[in-house]
Amino acid sequence: MSDRLRVIQWATGGVGKAAIESIFNHPELELVGCWVHSTDKNGRDVGEIIGTDPVGVTATSSAEDILALDADCVMYSPLIANQYEVQAILRSGKNIVTPIGWVYPDPTNPKVEAVAEAARDGGVTLHGSGIHPGGITERFPLMVSSLSSAVRHVRAEEFSDIRTYNSPDVVRHLMGFGGAPEDALHGPMAAILESGFKMSVRMVADHMGFRIEPAIRTTQEIGVATRDISSEVLPISAGTVAARRFRWEALVDGQPVITAAVNWLMGEADLDTGWTFGDRGERFEVQIIGDPDISVVFKGVHPQSISQGVQRNPGIAATANHCVNAIPYVCAADPGIKTYLDLPLLAGRPASDLTLTR
């Protein structure tokens, strides 16, 4: 019998498919189940869904069947989190890693406590991960800040071309691209992002000891296309949303001390705002203002071209990998909701031909 941890993948969107590949690459993990939302994926071999040879695991749209499986962990990555699904998974005795929440939840929130109680009842752990938020925004700034002292400002910022994000429904209906500016301003994305990024900002503030003001300042800006923009993911008509910028700032005496920011552009050529990525192109930045000032630029998690990104976006793969690589640590943790502050240093694993035989 295998001593590998048994993993279920919940949902097979872009992150879900990348997570399945990551599970196959991880020497300590084994895929044993897969939940799918759409009826056309129900009953199909997971290999067929991700575009490989059959792998011997059949996808199902039955949550009951998934909950009945003997498994150690669920990689939970639907489009939007369902608290009752999460509680049911935890109570079935399965740990959860997820890129869609719980990075640094408020333990006084009744909804958070309900999830924590479900984890304790099941004797398992829930861990929120990802990339931004879920890594770039809080985990890496905290690590880099240890190289400085007398810190006055911590910033984590994303610059991404959304023409490479091959998820049209997310780009249109959640992110608000291709629609009217007023609809985007009041759409679901602002609330979804706000929940995650405010948690990230508070984690940095709490762990470093900033005496921030209770309210996190949130700002957003929108740019529209000056003419039609061609895109394989989502063609953009002139006058509709083609760029979005968000900032979340923790304040001390009215001045920002911690900033998380997002810059999403449908290219740089046809925006009424004139926004660009600058000389460094697509990237993630982490900056510490202190003694000394330190900056780190993350490259490689953006595709080298639009066509490459549409085929396989490395940022999506990195999001999935960050979750999957956490699984052994999460399964070994005490029951409850655990953040990066509660877990040991997470690490990836070598390629199969370089893995130490145990």
Asked whether the whole model's pTM tops 0.85, one would answer yes
Question: 204 and 141 in contact (C-beta within 8 Å)?
Answer: yes
Question: 90 and 117 in contact (C-beta within 8 Å)?
Answer: no
117-129 per-position pLDDT tens digit: 999 999 999 999 9
Answer yes or no: do 12 and 35 share one domain: yes
Answer yes or no: do 145 and 113 share one domain: no
Answer yes or no: do 35 and 73 share one domain: yes
- Tell which residue, 223, 251, 249, 253, has the closest CA to residue 238: 223
Is residue 305 situated within a structural domain? no
Q: Which helix (H) or strand (E) holds 97?
A: strand 95-98
Answer yes or no: do 206 and 237 share one domain: yes
Domain containing residue 153: CATH number: 3.30.360
Q: Which helix (H) or strand (E) holds 139?
A: helix 139-145
Answer yes or no: do 125 and 159 share one domain: no
Question: Which residues are CB-contacts of 248 (< 8 A; sequence separation ≥ 6)?
Answer: 194, 197, 198, 200, 201, 216, 217, 218, 259, 260, 261
Question: Which residues are CB-contacts of 345 (< 8 A; sequence separation ≥ 6)?
Answer: none
72-113 per-position pLDDT tens digit: 999 999 988 999 999 999 999 999 999 999 999 999 999 999
User: Which domain covers residue 92, as residue numbers?
Assistant: 5-131+319-354
Angle made by CA atoms 167, 189, 297, in degrees to the nearest 5: 75
Looking at the chain, the whole-number percentage of residues with pLDDT higher than 70 is 99
Q: Alpha-carbon distance 244 to 79, whole Å? A: 20
Residue 21 pLDDT: 98
Is residue 118 situated within a structural domain? yes
Is residue 253 packed enough to be buried (19+ CB in 10 Å), middle (13-18) or exposed (0-12)?
exposed
Last residue of a domain, one of 273, 300, 327: 300
Answer yes or no: do 274 and 345 share one domain: no
Answer yes or no: do 61 and 126 share one domain: yes
Answer yes or no: do 121 and 143 share one domain: no
Answer yes or no: do 60 and 196 share one domain: no
Answer yes or no: do 148 and 126 share one domain: no
Answer yes or no: do 115 and 13 share one domain: yes
Answer yes or no: do 66 and 209 share one domain: no
Q: Alpha-carbon distance 208 to 148, whole Å? A: 12
Q: Total domain count for the chain? A: 2
Is residue 314 situated within a structural domain? no
Query: β-strands 73-76, 5-10: how paired?
Result: parallel
Q: Alpha-carbon distance 25 to 213, whole Å? A: 44
144-197 per-position pLDDT tens digit: 999 999 999 999 999 999 999 988 888 998 899 999 999 998 888 888 888 899
Is residue 65 situated within a structural domain? yes
Residue 81: how many other CB atoms lie within 10 Å:
19
225-261 per-position pLDDT tens digit: 999 999 999 999 999 999 999 999 999 999 999 999 9
Is residue 155 situated within a structural domain? yes
Q: Which helix (H) or strand (E) holds 198?
A: helix 188-208
Is residue 309 situated within a structural domain? no
Domain containing residue 44: CATH number: 3.40.50.720
Tell me the two tokens of residue 163.
């023409």
Is residue 313 situated within a structural domain? no
